[in-house]
Amino acid sequence: MRRFFINQQSLAGDIALLSEAESHHIASVLRLQSGDPVELFDSSGTVYNGKLLNVLPDRVTVQIISRKLESPVKSPPLYLYQSLLKGKKMDFLVQKTTELGVHSFQPLITRYSENRGNPDRQHQRWQRIMLEACKQCKRSRPMDIFPRVKLDQADITLFSTKILLWEGEKEILIGPAQFQGQGPVCLMLGPEGGFHQDEIEWAKVNGFQSTSLGRLTLRAETAALSATAIVQFLLGAFS
């Protein structure tokens, strides 16, 4: 069954009014018809079963038949702090980390990161990509995407576990011993050119433990997805 995003403010009793973008997708792209069954989800974790009522290119309404609040994942939430990457790599990471269940995504400005592009437009695009990924993977709670910040201005006070993935770490491999706590986890990764030594020192002073994925040098986006999948597995997010 097709799933679409709904703002809670657009619900009136058992009738939901979809956004113009979702309406266009339903009416003009998918060509669904009145009476077709659909699922809706919002930012609270509630999933709604319903059927299409009026289907117009810019206005689609849904009759809600049932609703269910899905239980949140019980594993510690993972926050990914990722230095900005070049080209479409950040789009790719936003999509895939949404599918992997990352709680929040924080883009970072670091010494060697890619800082071109309009931040507001990029953030809006990442929001669209994230919601599309939620629909595809049946995720009921969207991933938070924060505005980009400089590394030394990032809020890291929330975390009980802080992991720095660093190609210069030669002794400590990422593993279960690093994830014994129950609180939020921060996983931080650098750009294509890596972190500057001053940034490594800043991270260690602020409680990050440096770790490695092994002897192979991975591309930035490969390292990010590999580390995310490993950490989510170790935290029990896939159980």
Contacting residues for 199 by C-beta, under 8 A, at least 6 apart: 110, 111, 151, 190
| The length of the chain, given as a count of residues | 239
128 and 20 in a common domain? no
Same domain, 18 and 97: no
Q: Are residues 175 and 210 in the same domain?
A: yes
Which is nearest to 148 in space by CA: 191, 203, 98? 191
The CATH number of whichever domain residue 203 belongs to comes to 3.40.1280.10
Within 8 A by CB and 6+ apart from 79, the residues are 102, 103, 104, 105, 106, 158, 159, 184, 185, 186, 187
Burial of 205 (0-12, 13-18, 19+ CB in 10 A): exposed
Identify the pLDDT of residue 157. 93
- Shared domain check, 57 and 134: no
CB 86 within 8 A of CB 122: no
In the listed set 15, 45, 69, which residue is the last one of a domain according to the structure?
69
User: Could you tell me if 173 and 203 lie in one domain?
Assistant: yes
Same domain, 154 and 121: yes
- Domain residues for the domain of 24 are 3-69
The answer on 49 and 113 residing in a single domain is: no
What residues of the chain score a pLDDT lower than 50? none
Report CA-CA distances (Å) from 103 to 69, 70, 72, 119, 178: 18, 15, 11, 21, 19
Instruction: With 0.85 as the threshold, say if the pTM is over it.
Output: yes
Give the count of domains, the chain. Answer: 2
List, as one string, the DSSP characters of 146-167. PPPEEGGG---TT-SEEEEE-T
Tokens of 19: 């956004």
3-state secondary structure of 81: strand
Can you give the pLDDT at residue 131? 95
Q: Are residues 58 and 86 in the same domain?
A: no
